[in-house]
Amino acid sequence: MSPRLFALIPAAVAINLVIGRVVAELSLPVYLDTLGTMLVAVLTGLSGGLLVGTVSQLLSGMLSGYQWLAFTPIQWLIALLAALAASRGGFSTHWRSAAWGAACGLAGGALSAVISFVLFRGVTAGGVTAIGAGLRALGFSLESAVTLASVSTDVIDKIMAFVVVGMLLRALPRRVLGRFPLAARAVGR
């Protein structure tokens, strides 16, 4: 592992945790707790993203309970899709970022719904569970409520995350992008 990746990982994990907290303080119905994972996956490739995702879940487990380790595969999926999007120039415009974000949200939401239903019967983080409870009160079955709540929140969350990462990458000077060939390809330079 290169010293650059070693230096990036702690900062990226901190971004995941801190921006997640900032967004929670803004009371927005999204998490944005995977920005660091996406950023490293786009800058250094899949292995970096996988590592950041895993360390993030371990650390966030220490701070809020290790039950959330069950959601580590979501971090891996996001790293995979962010690296794939980067290799296909998926961050070159707002619209391309948003489209990849929507695809990632659908995949992540579906996986999250399965984990949430099988292991937690739909009771996980506050916002998504509140939406699920609302859907249950409207007469949806538990399976449908959990799936709809997970997918809808994840799609919005990942669209926003991909757009934010895309904006940041496009704003980076060529000198910085030159050090990360995958990121340069991601924004079409």
Partner 1 sequence: MTDWARRAHPFTPGAVMLALVAAAVIAPAPNGSVIVYSVTIMLAIITGAGRGVWLGILVSAPLWLLLFVMHGILGEGPRAPFIGGGTLAVEGMRWAIGQGARLAAIVTASLAFATVFDPHRFLQAAIDRGWPWPLAFLVVATLDAAERFAGQARRLREAQRTRGLKVHGSLLTRARAIPALAFPLMLAALTEADEHTLALETRGLTRRGRRTALDPPADTPLDRLTRWIALLAVMLLLTWRISA
Could you list the residues that contact partner 1 (CB under 8 A)? 1-4, 6-15, 17-19, 21-23, 25-29, 32, 35-36, 39, 55, 59, 61-67, 120-123, 126, 129-130, 132-133, 136-137, 142, 160, 164, 167-168, 171-172, 176
In angstroms, give the least distance from the CB of 116 to partner 1. 11
In angstroms, give the least distance from the CB of 145 to partner 1. 9
Q: Are 30 and 157 in contact (CB under 8 A)?
A: yes
The nearer residue to partner 1, 9 or 103, going by C-beta atoms, is 9
The nearer residue to partner 1, 59 or 99, going by C-beta atoms, is 59
Taking alpha carbons only, the member of 3, 13, 25 closest to residue 49 is 13
CA distance 106 to 127: 18
In angstroms, give the least distance from the CB of 187 to partner 1. 15
Pull the structure tokens for residue 175: 């000198």
The nearer residue to partner 1, 100 or 157, going by C-beta atoms, is 157
In angstroms, give the least distance from the CB of 41 to partner 1. 14
Q: Are 147 and 114 in contact (CB under 8 A)?
A: no
Q: Tell me the one-letter amino acid at 122.
A: G
Taking alpha carbons only, the member of 84, 103, 58 closest to residue 111 is 103
